Amino acid sequence: MNTPKRHSSQDTKIQAVNLCKTFEKFQALKDISFSVSKGEIFGLLGPNGAGKTTCMKIFGGILHPTKGEAYIDGINVEKNPILSKSKIGFLPEYPALFEHISGREFLTMIGKLRHMEKDKIDRRVNFFIEILDLHEQIDYLIGTYSKGMRQKIAFTSAIIHEPEILILDEPTSGLDPRFGKILKDMIKDFVSQDKTILMSTHIIPVAESLCDRIGIINSGKLASVGTIKELNEKANADDLENAFITLVGGKSWAGMKSILKTQ
């Protein structure tokens, strides 16, 4: 677990203010508010369907909030989408990659869109080829890639231009333990440079190993926000897993067995 960081309000890099999102009659986000400071990893931890991806997409400029505001480095994401997007790297849960070009061609295209010089694009691509063991596969068509390979390419595209802020939706999805560990180490190195990350996950060990603070989200609402220690204390739990179950109002196996025995 990382040592919690505390910053002044002027260091706020990501902020949600009373965010709501409704799809027809379904309310995916219900009055969500939180902030993330410079040099901090803030994790949204919740079960599938809790609203994590909806929140990530709003900060990535893909969805518009029904109500409320989202800010990137003080910039209103809805009012200034191009400027806010220029500040971030964004990794969606299900990256949309071009099937009929190679990984190298895709990353080169992303670098050009990010106004990077060709020599810098080449250096960065070669760096990630080595780190993520892409090698000959970098020149294969993306349509032939496994889920893990796609995740590596998508993560590289989010970070290739060295942004100050990363928005990561389930970043370790599809990666085997070896490359999951490499990616987590890269994330830690990123924030050690005083950069900022908002990430979502439903995997408790990932949240424990990476996040300075965690927002537990369930059914579109923030159940609680704090460090792991603060969440454990609030839930009167001895670890994050039990704190999470308590704070989202879930049932444990032992609790369910006791209920069944009384029926």
CATH of the domain at 198: 3.40.50.300
Backbone region of residue 92 per phi and psi (left: phi > 0; alpha: psi in -120 to 50; beta: other values): beta
Encoded amino acid at 217, one letter: I
pLDDT of residue 1: 45
Report if residue 121 sits inside a domain. no
pLDDT of residue 6: 44
Res 251 pLDDT > 70: no
Tracing tokens 């200034």 back to the chain, one arrives at 80
Report if residue 112 sits inside a domain. no
Q: Which residues of 122-134 are buried (b: 16+ CB within 10 A; e: fewer)?
A: eebbeebbeebeb
Digit-coded pLDDT (tens) for 192-202: 999 999 999 98
Report if residue 152 sits inside a domain. no
* Helical pair 147-159 and 177-192, crossing angle rounded to 10 deg: 10
Q: Are 166 and 195 in contact (CB under 8 A)?
A: yes
Res 259 pLDDT > 80: no
Res 96 pLDDT > 50: yes
Report if residue 109 sits inside a domain. no
Verdict on whether the full-model pTM lies above 0.85: yes
Res 255 pLDDT > 60: no
H-assigned helices in 93-248: 103-113, 118-131, 147-159, 177-192, 204-210, 228-235, 240-247
- What's the mean per-residue pLDDT of the chain? 90
Task: List the domain range (segments joined by +) for residue 216.
Answer: 9-94+165-261
CB burial class (10 A; 0-12, 13-18, 19+) of residue 171?
buried
pLDDT classification of 263: cutoffs 50, 70, 90: low
Res 4 pLDDT > 50: no
- CA distances to 17, 65, 94, 153, 157 from 129, rounded to whole Å, are 39, 37, 21, 10, 12
- Percent of the residues in the chain that have a pLDDT greater than 70, as a whole number: 91
Segment among 5-19, 46-60, 103-117, 209-223 with least mean pLDDT: 5-19
Segment among 69-78, 132-141, 173-182, 204-213 with least mean pLDDT: 173-182
The encoded tokens of residue 16 equal 């949600």
pLDDT classification of 242: cutoffs 50, 70, 90: very high
pLDDT classification of 48: cutoffs 50, 70, 90: confident
Report if residue 106 sits inside a domain. no
Encoded amino acid at 145, one letter: Y
- CA distances to 10, 108, 131 from 101, rounded to whole Å, are 43, 11, 22
Mean pLDDT of the 158-180 span? 93
pLDDT of residue 261: 57
DSSP tag of 160: T
Report if residue 69 sits inside a domain. yes
H-assigned helices in the chain: 52-59, 81-86, 103-113, 118-131, 147-159, 177-192, 204-210, 228-235, 240-247, 253-261
Res 36 pLDDT > 90: yes
Instruction: Count the domains in the chain.
Output: 1
Res 7 pLDDT > 50: no
